[in-house]
Amino acid sequence: MTVDHLLQFLKHVQKEENPTKEDAEAIFNSVKHLKIFHRNGLHLHAFFRYLLGDLNHAHKSTVHHDMTAPLSHYYLFTGHNSYLTGNQLSSDSSTQPIINALHRGVRVIELDLWPNSAKNDVEVRHGGTLTSPVALRDCLRAIKDNAFKMVTSTFGAMLYCPASDYIEEFPSPAALKKRVMISTKPPEYHESHHHQHQVDSGGSSTKSKKNYKPSYDDDDNEKDEDDTSYYNNNKNNNDDHNQNDEDDDTYDDDQDYDEEENVVPEYKQLIAIHAGKPKGELNTWLADLNSSVKIKRLSLSEQELENAIKHHGADIVRFTQRNFLRVYPKGTRFDSSNYNPMLAWMHGAQMGYGKHLWVMQGMFNSNGGCGYVKKPDFLLSSTIPHHIIDPHNPTVKMILKVKVYMGEGWHSDFRHTHFDQYSPPDFFARVGIAGVPIDRSKMMQTKAVEDEWAPVWDHEFEFSLSVPELAVLRVEVQEYDTSGNNDFGGQAAFPVLELKSGIRAVPLYNKKGDMYKNVRLLIKFEAILLN
């Protein structure tokens, strides 16, 4: 294959926009060190090295969304208990999970602040559990040093503090570049503990959290989303009234949503996004918050959101056009990794949990992995229908074809007895869509290829999508076991609208979202837009 041949391939198969001869030559240069490269052109094996290499990305890899809209117009990659090294009952608190999350693209870091045993300082830990604490100052330093690769000064000017308590809309991500914002409910002022509130000492007098229910954040046993329902109503569920630690924004029962006279002024001026949980009838506070000049952050549980959208879906979307909505898992769940954020995204919620959830990571592969994804236009429109998506009259906007050719790299990344003690593995691939209910598909699979470290499946899947803006493609590889306990061979997830046409390299990740060094799939993507 000559440079000119490769240029034609980039144009007609890969559908690259205006590829140049220089682009093709760069690919030639990337494989020149291989012994299989011939000076007159690419042989088949050298061509495969390009196809499965780092230059042949499966999705857009740069920031390309409009970053000048108000911050409330974006989904934010949100961490949950960002300081825990393991489960939420007994693991250590540490700065390392914070650093790992920031490097992975997480842009909302959650810290639970509690008084220390001497009541003269504050520490970060999971209240009411056996988790060990970590110093707040260490957590803030971890954020300072790792949130931006080029910023090493102290928070100082990095901390964004609004000039007025009554701003009409949030600044844009572009305007907030290299800045840090704090979002919380201001701690209450108590005269007898005034010394605890000094900002310089890092102290705070946070109130205890009541009705703790255990919850885990380990998704080694992640259930497939096929097993859960977006609209599951558990009549015996008391989440709404007996919140655990997730509901950290709840005001005292005798305090109204906008009453902040008793908060510590030194802290209040540092908070850019004030958090709260209003009480009373849903339609009343939604109307008040939609019309209020003072923008806020509101927290709802999954169950509360499910109940709210039955009659107030459009009001919630309208609320999230100016304000922030944070949605957290049901308190009765022992594995918060099963929380599916799609319902929240459908209604404009900017913050949702899912520390290791594959759909969450897939969604935030968007926009160069910067941690901010612009919401679809239909969620930012001034005219919002009562039902965001009409399940009775869906309109298919896109046909997505996904052809899984082959995979390789396990032989290099795994022990040769990892999958089977006596023979090579029997890999099969699974492909599905996470999205709005009308678009969701069960994971479909190829046949297992027996005794092969580099399996060739050559299998095409097709999906009809009504809301491709919120569709995430999931790909997974398993190793077949006659016992039914298949071994995990890797996974990946990508927003459908970010996929590049043509034959692409798809690197796979382990269960915790870390990329394997060598494991790759070769997949062809074709998106056909309708109407």
Per-residue model confidence as pLDDT tens digits over 412-456: 999 999 999 889 999 999 999 999 888 988 899 999 999 999 999
Question: What is the Cα–Cα distance from 61 to 181, expressed in whole angstroms?
Answer: 26
Q: Which one has a higher pLDDT value, 31 or 35?
A: 31
Q: Which one has a higher pLDDT value, 270 or 53?
A: 53
Cβ 349 vs Cβ 326: under 8 Å: yes
- Residue 100 pLDDT class (50, 70, 90 cuts): confident
CA-to-CA dists, residue 483 to 92, 220, 480, 486, angstroms = 36, 19, 9, 8
Give the mean pLDDT of 12-18: 94
Reference 286, options 163, 184, 384, 154; nearest CA is 384
* pLDDT tens digits, one per residue of 110-157: 888 888 888 888 888 776 666 678 888 888 888 888 877 453 334 577
Strand partners, 474: 432, 493
* Ordered domains of the chain (ranges, CATH): 3-52 (no CATH), 71-150+158-184+265-387 (3.20.20.190), 393-529 (2.60.40.150)
Cβ 404 vs Cβ 521: under 8 Å: yes
Coil vs helix vs strand at 455: coil
CA-to-CA dists, residue 441 to 197, 230, 447, 457, angstroms = 51, 13, 18, 20
- Residue 531 pLDDT class (50, 70, 90 cuts): confident
- Amino acid in position 331: G
Residue 73: active-site member? no
Q: How many residues does the chain have?
A: 531
Identity of the highest mean pLDDT range in 101-115, 382-396, 431-445: 431-445
Coil vs helix vs strand at 84: strand
How would DSSP label each residue in 349-369?
--EE--TT-HHHHHHTTSGGG
Give the mean pLDDT of 257-283: 66
* pLDDT tens digits, one per residue of 472-499: 999 999 999 988 899 999 999 999 999 9
pLDDT for res 40: 73
Question: Of the listed 59, 65, 73, 126, which one is catalytic?
Answer: 126
Strand partners, 188: 263
| Residue carrying the six token digits 């931006």 | 148
pLDDT for res 343: 87
Question: What is the Cα–Cα distance from 272 to 281, expressed in whole angstroms?
Answer: 27
Reference 406, options 61, 48, 50; nearest CA is 48
Q: Which residues contact 392 (CB under 8 A, 6 or more apart)?
A: none
The burial of 383, by beta-carbon neighbours within 10 Å (0-12 exposed, 13-18 middle, 19 or more buried), is given as: exposed
206 pLDDT higher than 50 = no
Question: What is the Cα–Cα distance from 492 to 474, expressed in whole angstroms?
Answer: 6
Using only C-alpha atoms, the chain has a radius of gyration, in whole angstroms, of: 25
Question: Of the listed 80, 197, 312, 347, which one is catalytic?
Answer: 80
Element of type H or E holding 300: strand 297-301
Reference 170, options 265, 277, 54, 73; nearest CA is 73
Element of type H or E holding 528: strand 515-529
